[in-house]
Homo-oligomer: A and B are copies of this chain.
Amino acid sequence: MSFLISSGGLIITIGDLLEILFATGNRNKVEEAVQALKPRGITVKHFPFEHNEIRSDSLEEIAREAVGVAYLKCRKPVFVEDSGLFIDSLGGFPGAYSAWTLSKLGLAGILRLLHGVEGRSARFEACVAYHDGTQVSVFKGVCKGAISIEPRGSSGFGYDPIFVPEGRSQTFAENITLKNKLSHRYISLLEFSKSFVSGS
């Protein structure tokens, strides 16, 4: 038997694998988390979760509230992840409302907003909030980049076809391997995994 120590206490695991629930309604996010955390001995299980998030510009505030609700429902170690695309020339729009905005305007709407605008810099931000049964810990990831002129590629989801990470030429949707190594979500999950100290 091995164990991992989280910031909040001791978690006993069987066969070197720690199992943590990921509360989300987005299966794409689950897939990304599975890929990111498996090499680090953490098994991610999907906890289907639909929740009316609070209205806030802060991903951390949203994630902290959501994981509290998720924990009350599953009563097991659980994390949530909230992320957003922040476009500098639009004052950080769509930010914490990225998923909702995309559902209304589509990628075409975002591109129309940037039509003729010189500055296309943007960043993806992610915030993982983990509830270990006693306390909530938060882990952040940022990926800087720019908005492309038109959508390119078919991998990933959400804004991936129009986001080009800094120093690269392909969008996340054109190069999913790149996304899985550079993305805001990957970085926040990596930070999250580092919070566990393995022992035996």
Contact = CB atoms under 8 A, between A and B. Distances in A.
Contacts of A55: 52-55, 100
Nearest to A62: B55
Contact of A104 (B54, B91, B109, B115): B91
A100 B54 CA distance: 14
A1 interface: no
Interface residues of A, number: 21
Contacts of A93: 101, 104-105, 109
A112 to B, nearest CB: 6
Nearest to A95: B104
A154 interface: no
Given A54-B54, A93-B101, A93-B104, 5 more contacts: A55-B100, A90-B105, A93-B109, A95-B104, A97-B97
